[in-house]
Structures are given as structure tokens and as C-alpha cells.
Amino acid sequence: MFSPLYASLLALVCAGYATLAFAVRDFDADLAGGLLYLALGFGVASLAYGGLGPEAFFKRPDGARSVAGYVLAGPFFVSVALARVVQRTVTGEDAWNLVAPGVYVGRRVRFDDLPADTATVVDLTSEMLDERQTRIDRRYLCLPVLDGTAPPVEPLVELARQTLASPEPWYVHCAAGHGRSAMLAAVVLVARGDAPDVRAAEARMQKSRPKVHLTRRQAIAAEAAVRVLREG
């Protein structure tokens, strides 16, 4: 679970902050320290995408995050949250859409903004957290996945099985509700008989949520998970 492109871009941001810190260290030590902390956060994110995986963000299966995650990658998490606010403002996209009976796909939302009939929440983010109320008041499943990437097949299959065994409706989400969430939703739609294959499931979701798009890796992972479910 890695992305050389994301890792490289994040490394450049890290290097930029570190360079600025070095440049101002003699004039403002506090500012230099702040810039170095920003560099640390993006450096950790770069390492996550470079091969360490979502474990670098210390998000647990119960959806909580250890203190180490906040300390090491806090600046990256804040930047992601701000970027998502801008994205929502610019696109005006629905927070979620019903893509099939009993299946919602969407972005991470507050508990009060979940579809009213949601019984199970399936969280595929590593960089964001659901509210505690969401994790307590609903059946909650979590598989931390880095944005734009796909998990190994085995945990994806297990998450699909857990989802299929959980009460509907399901609210399947990632940060924006386009890739990671759609990957899992495609698997369960095929497994449930709502679509013949992953690409057909993707096309079906796009009718309700046009920005749904599986990357090549996500499509391959979803197809592999479907094969395992069919064999088992």
C-alpha cells in the first residue's frame, strides 16, 4: 500500500518547510521550530506513502488514534482537513448518495449528518476520524487505507465479509467518497448480486455519485476480493 507520486510530493513539501526553517533559524527560533514541526508531519506522511503504510498514522481498528499519531503527523492531518473543506466548498457535491438499496457511499461526515436510517458505518480513511458518537451509536467497521491507494486483498475481503454480515443500510465512506469507499462498495455490490463485476458496480455508483472513480490499483484489489469471495 504505497504511492511513489504522493510520497514524492509530500517529501517536497517536507523539504520546503525544512529549508524555510533553516533560513529563518537565526532570526526567529520559534518560527523555525514551527516550520520544523510542519516538516515532521509531512515527512511522516511521505514515509507512509513511501512504504510504511497507514500504520504510520497510528489509527486503530476501533477508529481511534493514538497520541503518537497526533504528535508525529498532526500538521498533515490539519492540512488534509482544510483541503477537504475547500474541496466541498468548490465542488458543492452531495455529502453522500444512495448507490444501491441499503448502500450509501459518501465522505466522512458528522454523526448528525449521517443518513437517518444508517445502521452500519464502514470507514476506510487513515487520515481522518469519525466522531466518537458515530463509532459508539452505530455498528462501526474500520480499515485504515491511504488516500488513492488500495489495501492488501486479505483485509479487504475480511472487511467485505464483515460488512455483508452487518445490518443495513451501510454508510461506506472515505474522505471524499470517491475511491476507497467505492472500492469496498463495489466488492459488496458484486457479492450481493447488484452488479456482475467491479466495473459494472462502479458504473452503477456513478449514476448516483458521478465523481466515483476507482484507481487502477483499487479496481485490481476489488476484483481480487470478489474472486476470493466467490471461491469461498
Q: What is the pLDDT of residues 183-200, one digit of tens each?
A: 999 999 999 999 999 999
Q: Which residue has the cell 497507514?
A: 54
What CA–CA distances, in Å, run from 129 to 2, 16, 70, 148?
A: 21, 28, 11, 17
> How far, in Å, CA of 102 to CA of 118, rounded?
9
Q: Are residues 222 and 180 in the same domain?
A: yes
Q: Are residues 68 and 126 in the same domain?
A: no
Domain boundary among 26, 61, 89: 89
pLDDT digits (tens, 9 = 90+) for 103-113: 999 999 999 99
Q: Are residues 98 and 82 in the same domain?
A: no
Q: What is the pLDDT of residue 88?
A: 86
8 Å CB contact between 186 and 201: yes
Domain boundary among 71, 89, 107: 89
Grid cell digits, residue 121: 458505518
> How far, in Å, CA of 98 to CA of 113, rounded?
14
Q: Are residues 57 and 22 in the same domain?
A: yes
Q: What is the pLDDT of residue 32?
A: 94
Q: Are residues 106 and 82 in the same domain?
A: no
> How far, in Å, CA of 229 to CA of 232, rounded?
5
Q: Are residues 126 and 224 in the same domain?
A: yes
- Residue 202 neighbours by CB under 8 Å, 6+ apart: 182, 186, 212, 213, 214, 219
Q: What is the pLDDT of residue 2?
A: 74
Q: Which residue has the cell 482544510?
A: 82
Could you list the residue range(s) of the whole structural domain that residue 125 is in?
94-231
Q: Are residues 127 and 175 in the same domain?
A: yes
- Say what the pTM is: 0.94
Write out the DSSP string of 153-198. HHHHHHHHHHHHTSPSSEEEEESSSSSHHHHHHHHHHHHHTS-SSH
Name the DSSP letter for residue 116. T
Q: Are residues 107 and 207 in the same domain?
A: yes
Domain boundary among 69, 89, 109: 89
Q: What is the pLDDT of residue 208?
A: 98
Q: What is the pLDDT of residue 150?
A: 97
- Which parts of the chain register pLDDT below 50? none
Q: Are residues 191 and 103 in the same domain?
A: yes
Number of structural domains (the chain) is: 2
Q: Are residues 215 and 108 in the same domain?
A: yes
Q: What is the pLDDT of residue 232?
A: 76
CATH number for the domain harbouring residue 204? 3.90.190.10
